A and B are shown apart, each in its own frame.
Chain A
Amino acid sequence: MAINVATVQEVESTDSVVSSRFGWLRAFRRPLTLTGVIIVAIFCVLAIIGPFIAPYDPSSVSKATLQPPSPEHWLGTTQTGQDILSQMLYGTQVSMIVGVLAAVFATVLSVVVGLAAGYLGGISDEILSLLANIFLVIPALPLTVILAAYLPKTGSFGIILVISITGWAWGARVLRAQTLSLRKRDFVEAARATGERTTSIIFRDIFPNQVAVIAASFLGTVTGAILTQASLAFLGLTNVTEWSWGTILYWAQVSSALLTGSWWWFVPAGAAIALLGTGLSLVNFGIDEFINPRLRQAGIGTRKAQRAQVRPTRLKAPRRSRREARASVSGGRTGDVILQINGLEVDYVGEGSTTKAVNDVTLTLRRGEVLGIAGESGSGKSTLAHAITRLHKPPAWISAGEMLYQRDDGTVVDILTMGDEELRRFRWEELAIVFQSAMHALNPILSIGKQIEDAITAHRPSMSASERAARVLELLDLVGIQTDRAGAYPHELSGGMRQRAMIAVGLALDPEIIVMDEPTTALDVVIQRQIVEKIIELKDRLGFSVIFITHDLSLLIEMSDTIAVMYAGRVVELADAKEFYRNPRHPYSRGLLGSFPTLSGPKRELAGIPGSPPDLRHPPSGCAFNPRCPLAFDRCTVVVPPLFALSGEAEWRQAEAACLLYEGGGTVPDRASVHETDERLIEEAR
Chain B
Amino acid sequence: MNVVNKLTLRHLLLNKKRTLVTIIGVILSVSMVTAVTTFVASAQDMLIQDTINDRGNWHAKFQDIDAAKADVFLESEAVEQALFARNLGYAELMGSANEYKPYMFIQEFDKASIAELALELVDGRLPKQENEVVVSEHIRYNGGVEIKVGDKLDLAIGQRYSDGYPLGQDNPFSKADADGDGETLQPEFTREFTVVGIVARPWFEPYSAPGYTVITCFDRNSATTGPLDVRVRFKKINRSVYELGQELAAQAESPDYIEEDSGVFYLVRYNDTLLALYGVTGSEVFSNILTTFALIAIAIIMIGSISLIYNAFAISISERSRQLGMLASVGATSKQKRRSVFFEGLIIGLAGIPLGVLAGTVGMGITFSFVGPILANLVQSSAQLRLIVSPLAIVIAILFSMLTIFISAWIPARRAAKIAPIAAIRQSRDVKLTRRAVRTSWLTRLLFGFEATLALKNLKRNRSRFRATVVSLTVSIVLFLTVSAYATYVTVGSNMYTPGLNCDMEIAQRGMSKEERDFFAQVISLKQVEEYSYEQSCYGYMQVPAEMASDFLINKWGDPKEEYNYYIMLKSLDEKAFADLARAAGVGMDAFTSGKPAAIALNQFRMPWQGGYVESEVIKAPAGTELTVDLSSSFGERDQEISFIQEITLAGVTTEAPMGSSVWTDPLSLTLFVPETMFDQLLAGLPDEEQRYTGTLYINTSEPGLLEEKIRSMHQCDAGDFHIYNQAQAAQEEKQSKLLLTVFITGFILLITGICIANIINTITTSIALRRREFAMLKSVGMTPKGFNRMIRYESVFYGIKALSFGLPISLGINYLLYRAMSDGFQFPFTLPWNSYIVAVVSVFAIVFITMLYSSLKMKNENIIDSLKNWSA
A and B interact physically:
no
Residues in chain A within 8 A of chain B (CB atoms) = none
